[in-house]
Amino acid sequence: MPLTRLEAFSDGVFAIAITLLVLELKVPTQGTGLLHDLLESWREYFGYLISFAFIGGIWMAHSELTRFLKASNGTLLRLNLLLLLFVSFMPHTTSVMTEHTDDEGRHVAVVLFGLNVLLATLVMSLMIRYAAHHESLVDNQAAEHELRAFERERRAALSFQVVSVVTGIFLPDVAIVLYLVVALALIFDPRPWLRRRRHLAA
Amino acid sequence: MPLTRLEAFSDGVFAIAITLLVLELKVPTQGTGLLHDLLESWREYFGYLISFAFIGGIWMAHSELTRFLKASNGTLLRLNLLLLLFVSFMPHTTSVMTEHTDDEGRHVAVVLFGLNVLLATLVMSLMIRYAAHHESLVDNQAAEHELRAFERERRAALSFQVVSVVTGIFLPDVAIVLYLVVALALIFDPRPWLRRRRHLAA
Amino acid sequence: MPLTRLEAFSDGVFAIAITLLVLELKVPTQGTGLLHDLLESWREYFGYLISFAFIGGIWMAHSELTRFLKASNGTLLRLNLLLLLFVSFMPHTTSVMTEHTDDEGRHVAVVLFGLNVLLATLVMSLMIRYAAHHESLVDNQAAEHELRAFERERRAALSFQVVSVVTGIFLPDVAIVLYLVVALALIFDPRPWLRRRRHLAA
Amino acid sequence: MPLTRLEAFSDGVFAIAITLLVLELKVPTQGTGLLHDLLESWREYFGYLISFAFIGGIWMAHSELTRFLKASNGTLLRLNLLLLLFVSFMPHTTSVMTEHTDDEGRHVAVVLFGLNVLLATLVMSLMIRYAAHHESLVDNQAAEHELRAFERERRAALSFQVVSVVTGIFLPDVAIVLYLVVALALIFDPRPWLRRRRHLAA
């Protein structure tokens, strides 16, 4: 099966999920003290940023995966649908989190968001792992090695996300900061970058 | 006519329809008892899942169709528009269903959603059938046979969906469970998979 | 300039505009008499259908245009942006129309929607005309002739839309029916179809 | 890294951001005096137009950039994510601006929107600059020169936007008009056009 449709459909869902987040941001109705009101909703903006960073990071991993593939199959399409289920759910869990970061529901809200992200990141890793073990999907043996190394490297981020979610049960405020660290690590993961540099230099 | 635009436009509509569903999920406003409130809206999440599975299943059939095509024509574009009409309508009928699964309107709501899905699935089958009978659209004779077999196999899911909708008139709760079965069957249909395996082994 | 970005961006905007319409449909809140309430909002469904048909028809003309092109240029990109401005505005004018078809604002609402569609259809024709007169954009001389004929044939639909809008000033209900006729004519225009058939037979 | 995913994902985000703006437009509820009510909300329509023009202008620069590229890399992907963050934020700052153009919050609202646009335009210029200085990304040396000239020419628009934002602190109404000028300049920038013409004539 060709990859084009899988890529186009996924890019569409990623693009919409990442852009829909903006609809959740509330516009202050009062003109007096507008700057104050905007600054007061910093939690919403912070949630927007974290969510954007996570979806962006997963998208980067997704495009990193498909550039090593030459074909798709039914199982990969189904794993991809599962990934998109969790990605398209993120605007909802982000809303729940930003709505409740300062009331009694903050433990539940922060853990819920963390679990959503964890599941998305996990399925992303499963997809990479699945592809890396199926010769018929991968471009060549070098690409196979790339993907296996990529999947191994992602385990650190995954473990860190598990720790963040568990932290959220007790210290939701700390968990939110940890989430941002994981999101940025997914976008700026220094290791594959260093590795590729070494690879190019060799 | 080339296929690229038909594919890109359809992928866009599928991606948006499947992602818009999340906007219908309500965010609980009270922090106290947040977990309880979230669990209470399980019907909404269940509706989200069913709808996601159906749109995902129709998308999979759509990409299965286009990979056997080499060209498009006016009639196929028009059938495709009709399909997209029913697909983009699904976020609305999903909302109606999840809003009314526990009141007097549940019979109407469940049947309405079922009919929407039925029409989408039916037009999808019509498209496959139409393409399979027009040599100018299909890649080669093997692809033609593939598509005819694919269309025949989809009739089981279609009949089952008719039964589910009729069940909805009398037993809406049972119908919702049947819908989930049909949706999963569209995604995990074991038959084309088995057949293709046999085909590859031969 | 290559055409790919113009096509991808336009497909995105068309796909979103055509799918956003569903967000304007209201979900009845009362379970009792749900069927009655749904049937009562037939104007909304009718507006949804007309709007869907127009956007679908303009999309078909747009893909008909680009398949004859080999390149793009700055002026075509700008005309295309203008087209997308009017297309992405249609969910709003559709809402205004369906909200006011049965009150005193119906003349204004129906004319507003008609003007929006007219402007979109007009810019679409301008794009075809512009491309047909610029050799550097068109695939070959045969394609140039195709496009000129296509643009001439669209003038009938355009004139009919002008008549519909003027009708809307006096008889809004009649205008809505005329709009549907124009929309269906854009999708099922029999003339280019007949012409192409003759062309293929020759 | 290939460019296709970067282009498809960006086109998706641009298309959604530019189309979501329409959801912010309010539909008047009263039928009596509908035309008057619509004309009264001219600020909203004006904001819609400015925002559409800016996103359209940035999209044009983005496609102007990618047509000179032959590949992508991690840094470019990250800069692109940052650009999309500011682009997808624009429907929010547009709403804030149009909601408050006639009350005490107008200074804050107009400056906020202007800063959002400025950041997006700035990151766009950074991307062009970055690409122009990395041989591995650019098609050939001629393309490198093109991009450097393109980036230099964009500095005028950037400076003008800085002036507009500063104006917004004191004279918000004037700033809005200046914004429209910058937006139109981004779409109709006469200089690269004239230059390319000369280039072709030579």
Q: Dump pLDDT digits (tens) for B128-149.
A: 999 999 989 998 888 899 899 8
Q: Smallest Cβ distance to D74: which of A19, A49, A193?
A: A193
Among chain B residues, CA nearest to C52: B85
Give the mutation candidate from A16, A20, A23 for the C interface (greatest C CB count, under 10 A): A16
What is the dihedral sign for C-alpha B60, B65, B68, B73?
Answer: negative
Q: Dump pLDDT digits (tens) for C5-30.
A: 999 999 999 999 999 989 888 889 88
C-alpha distances in Å from residue B128, one per residue of A10, A177, B136, B151: 23, 50, 14, 6
**Smallest Cα–Cα separation from C94: which of C103, C83, C86, C82?**
C86
Q: How confident is the model at residue D193 (pLDDT cuts 50, 70, 90)?
A: low
Contacts of B among chains (3+ CB pairs under 8 A): A, C, D
Which chain A residues touch B6 with a CB distance below 8 Å?
none
pLDDT exceeds cutoff 80 at B9: yes
- Angle, helices C106-132/C42-66, rounded to nearest 10 degrees: 10
Contact with chain A for residue B54, Cβ under 8 A: no
Q: So what's the pLDDT on residue D139?
A: 81
What is the dihedral sign for C-alpha C61, C67, C68, C73?
Answer: positive
Contacts 24+ apart (CB under 8 A), A126-134: A126/A79, A127/A65, A127/A76, A127/A79, A127/A80, A127/A83, A128/A61, A128/A65, A128/A154, A130/A75, A130/A76, A130/A79, A131/A65, A131/A68, A131/A69, A131/A76, A134/A73
pLDDT exceeds cutoff 90 at A30: no
Segment B152-162 mean pLDDT = 88
Asked if A116 and A135 count as a contact pair (C-beta separation under 8 A), the reply is: no
Give the mutation candidate from A3, A11, A20 for the D interface (greatest D CB count, under 10 A): A11
Q: So what's the pLDDT on residue C191?
A: 62
pLDDT exceeds cutoff 80 at B103: yes
Least confident segment among A161-165, C38-42, D48-52: C38-42
- Looking at CA atoms only, how far is residue D169 from chain A in angstroms? 13
Q: How confident is the model at residue B117 (pLDDT cuts 50, 70, 90)?
A: very high
pLDDT exceeds cutoff 70 at C195: no
Q: So what's the pLDDT on residue C79?
A: 95
pLDDT exceeds cutoff 70 at C109: yes
Mapped onto helix, strand or coil, the DSSP state of residue A83 is: helix
Specify which residues B69 forms β-bridges with: B138
**Smallest Cα–Cα separation from A106: which of A45, A23, A39, A47?**
A47
The structure tokens 């700033």 sit at D175
Asked if C30 and C93 count as a contact pair (C-beta separation under 8 A), the reply is: no
Contact with chain C for residue B135, Cβ under 8 A: no
Give the mutation candidate from D23, D24, D81, D110 for the A interface (greatest A CB count, under 10 A): D81
In terms of DSSP H, where are the helices of chain D? 4-20, 34-40, 42-66, 74-100, 106-132, 141-170, 172-188, 190-201
Q: How confident is the model at residue B193 (pLDDT cuts 50, 70, 90)?
A: low
Q: Dump pLDDT digits (tens) for A51-100.
A: 999 999 999 999 999 999 999 998 999 999 999 999 999 999 999 999 89
Asked if D127 and D147 count as a contact pair (C-beta separation under 8 A), the reply is: no
Q: Smallest Cβ distance to D11: which of C5, C92, C105?
A: C5
> Both tokens of residue D92?
């929010």
Q: So what's the pLDDT on residue D194?
A: 60
Which chain C residues touch A12 with a CB distance below 8 Å?
12, 15
Q: So what's the pLDDT on residue D186?
A: 80
Q: What is the mean pLDDT of chain A?
A: 90
